[in-house]
Chains A and B, each alone.
Chain A
Amino acid sequence: MARAGWGRRLLRVEFALAVAFLYLPIAVVVGLSFNESGQPTAWTGFSLDWYGSVLGNEDLLEAFRNTLVVGVVTTILATVLGTLLAIGLERAIHSPILDSLVYVPMIIPDIVLAIALLSFYNLVFAGLLNLQMGLWTVILSHVVFDVAFVAIVVRTRLRHFDRSIEEASLDLGAGEVRTFFNITLPVIAPGVIAGGLLAFTLSFDEFIIAFFTKGTVETFPTKVYSMIRFGVTPEVNAIATFVLMFSITLVLVSQRLREADA
């Protein structure tokens, strides 16, 4: 800690400012959720009414559950596919063309992907197979762009990876699969976690593709966007606050568990 001099201190200040920036609008959302009038124009008094009306709003809660399902399943699929892809691109094949292909799902405008996927699903799923679109079609669609993000993040981790450890493991007779789980995965884990977090965040907040491919179900973003027609309703602020509290609790609890584990 001797070297934790001014550089480290400066870094700490910068980080605190960045966090303040990130949470500033969140503070507004939380504040408004307790405002009796629910309007941003004036503070009329403290109230928990909006939380009551969220708990009574089955639609909103269901939309939220749906988004969690989509987010979690998409993240799992995209993280597995993306990680494999990243390893493949780094190890199995070297081609700048294939490398830049990974970015294609990102650079296609969302509205194009949304219309393309709905046209395709309508033709194949609704038309040929007579299947009803729903959360599963949203998941199929979200995986498309999430894989790219995961693959790119994991690759940043694989570069300059010291492969001699892997080779040693293989030489010692451990199979490829065992080597992957015992050697490779632990090293790239932070990349996989960062990629997974990114995948979840992007899926959780995605509107236009979900709106087009959801059939008749609602996700949290499609619900919120439709409510916005009459400005931000206070319930939206309340549920956003609720989500935040829930996630913070989750993070803290899992941290406790990990510490207890260690």
Chain B
Amino acid sequence: MLKRMGLLVLLTVAILSLAGCLKPVSLDAYGYVITIGVDRGEAKKYYYTFALQRELEGQDTSGEGGAAVLSCEGNSIFEAVSELEGNIPYSLNFSRTGFITFSRELAEGDAVKEFVSASLDALKIRTSAVMIVSEGDACEFIDGMYANNDANITKLQSALMLDKQKTGMVTVMSISRLIEACEDGRFDYCSAYGVYDAGVITDTGEKKSESEGEDPTGDAERGERAGGLRSRIAGAALFSGWSMTGTLTRGETVWLNIANGEFKSGVVDVKYGEGEESVSVGLSLEKVTRRLAIGGDGAVTATVDVVLGVGVRRMDQGTPPVEIDAWLTEDFARYAEEMLLSVFMKCRFAESDAMRFGTEAVRKFRTAEEWERFCWKERYLDLVPEFRVVTVNAEKYAAEGMQ
């Protein structure tokens, strides 16, 4: 019995030795990249920027702030990472990357495809990471996001995107949706479009004179934006396949989200009547019904029925006039239809099926072969859908809009 036990112990030790450790790396041997920025490089093909979360102990969040920004040029991200890791006392870990920012110049080319197809699995980047296209340089955009020294940059990221999504002015889609869009061909990707505004006076902004204090409001001149981040989301970037082909403003993005059924609530400013008066109309999306038909000749027709909850939040003159309800029901509904069509046409002009009519078209086919033979992208360019908007519950949403 003892001999057998000894043999078992020996076998166990031998197997464990064979297994060895599976290359453990302590968590403090990594720097965790939260955001990646990709720009056109000068000496090499690309210029990569990495924002890392600094370690913070206890409740003390003062001092250097949350983000450490590193950058390096390289013909690929692997080259840039290798180069950087030679100069830093840790390895870069991409398992917590939440944002990937491309400059507009690169987004309009093939850089996105090159990056996504090579890098995601190799660097263990989760495909739930969000892509942002920056109007200017991605590194500037990243700098503007983290310059205010917020301690927890993950929470900042989350707030930046998800809070803004609640206003309906931002469209947020993950890289996995981009991959799906490009592989399936049923819709086109639409990412957030960011801008960097150097004119924003922040609490860490440069002082204009010795006598200026740390108060950005006090430092700002009349008309200047004061406080907050220098980087902001300015709308949506339209993609056709892997390349960016157009943009939408924040106001237009609202209508895009309504058409896609992803709008929760928000506010739009509309001109009322024939005067200069503007009305802030609170919106909430009740229902969206999309119908698409494919004729015998392959012609595609579509209708989109939208039920919008509307309510007046604010008028210039104060109290809304009595006839505002009728205006909300009829004129505003027509306005909404025009906006939806206008945004659709803009998307179509950019050859981007951002309103995802392809996801309706695919339901009309019985086999995958038929669908793939149909060449949806070509048919889409001839589509002119009909938008029908019905507004409801003016009083209710007026109250809700005030919340």
User: Do A and B share a complex?
Assistant: no
